[in-house]
Amino acid sequence: MEFFSGVPVDGVELSLERMNGVRRSFRRGETVVHAGFRAERLMAIASGRLFVYEQTSEDHPVLVRELGRGSVLGLWILHVPEITCWPGTVVAAEDTVLVSFDMDRTRTFMASGGPLVARLALNAAKILSRELFSTWRKLAVMDAPSIEARIRVYLSELDNESGGTGEVTVPFNRERMAEYFGVTRPALSRSLGRMRDLGLIEWRKNSFKLRFGRRG
């Protein structure tokens, strides 16, 4: 787990004890937490994946983030005690194992100082930086005025991250991709088809070739 990267075994055991670490398994499709519920535990993904959805209508769920092994859910809440509730609903994207930690006990432990805590804080900062970048990209996508514009922004950002080759792999299937853009799957398919017909993109499954002017 990235949160414990570089921490010796005895340090991991001490941390689990001090933060009241508890292991729990979730089946694919099972809700881990509901939006608005009190955030009492920090959750690290030992295996599997999670989907995080905004509070929205059931017909058009908006996929905010996809979290994989090593990610930690709730770091923002840990560092901002004024936030007391989960802002989104979290669902297991596949069979998933989480290790959760009592939020209050974790805050106390992280404030205790020492080399062990310093290492955990460094690991947490790396994870938070990645989450901040993911949030920025999501905001940029959702700020676009149309589905086609959202697709262009999203693919451009993926292209920039992969070195500007003009070829990217989208980490979602079409259903998840539609949820990420906050639209229905048929609407997404129509938009992708129009962009293909205009010569803006080509694709095979999740691999896309960009033919429009890219950012960066």
- Domains identified in the chain, total number: 2
Q: Any idea how long the chain is?
A: 216
Domain identity same for 99 and 127: yes
The answer as to whether 216 is a domain residue is no
Going residue by residue through the chain (216 aa), what tens digit of pLDDT does each one get? 889 999 999 999 999 999 999 999 999 999 999 999 999 999 999 999 999 988 655 566 688 888 888 889 998 888 888 889 998 899 999 999 999 999 999 999 999 999 999 999 999 998 888 878 877 888 888 889 999 999 999 999 889 888 889 999 998 889 889 988 888 899 999 999 999 999 999 999 889 999 986 444
- CATH code for the domain of 170: 1.10.10.10
Element (H, E) at 151: helix 147-161
Give residue 43's identity as a one-letter amino acid code: M
Element (H, E) at 102: strand 96-102
The answer to whether 42 touches 75, Cβ cutoff 8 Å, is yes
Domain identity same for 123 and 158: no
Q: Give the residue among 199, 211, 44, 196 at the shortest CA–CA distance from 131.
A: 44
The answer as to whether 215 is a domain residue is no
Check residue 154 and give its pLDDT: 92
The answer to whether 201 touches 188, Cβ cutoff 8 Å, is no
Last residue in a domain, options 86, 101, 133: 133
Domain that includes residue 9, residue range:
2-133
Q: Please, how many CA atoms are within 13 Å of residue 180, restricted to the half-sphere of its CB?
A: 22
Give residue 118's identity as a one-letter amino acid code: A
Check residue 216 and give its pLDDT: 40
The answer as to whether 71 is a domain residue is yes
Number of H helices, E strands in the chain: 7, 11
The answer as to whether 141 is a domain residue is no
- Number of other residues whose CB lies within 10 A of the CB of residue 124: 19
Domain identity same for 202 and 159: yes
185 to each of 97, 176, 177, how far by Cα in Å?
A: 29, 9, 8
What rounded mean pLDDT belongs to the chain?
Answer: 89
The answer as to whether 200 is a domain residue is yes
The answer as to whether 49 is a domain residue is yes
Last residue in a domain, options 85, 106, 133: 133
- CATH code for the domain of 67: 2.60.120.10
Element (H, E) at 134: helix 115-142
| pLDDT one-digit tens code per residue, 194-213 | 999 999 999 998 899 999 86
The answer as to whether 31 is a domain residue is yes
Domain identity same for 27 and 51: yes
- Phi, psi values for residue 20, rounded to 5°: 60, 60
Straight-line distance from the first to the last Cα atom of the chain, in angstroms, rounded to the nearest whole number: 33
Domain identity same for 39 and 112: yes
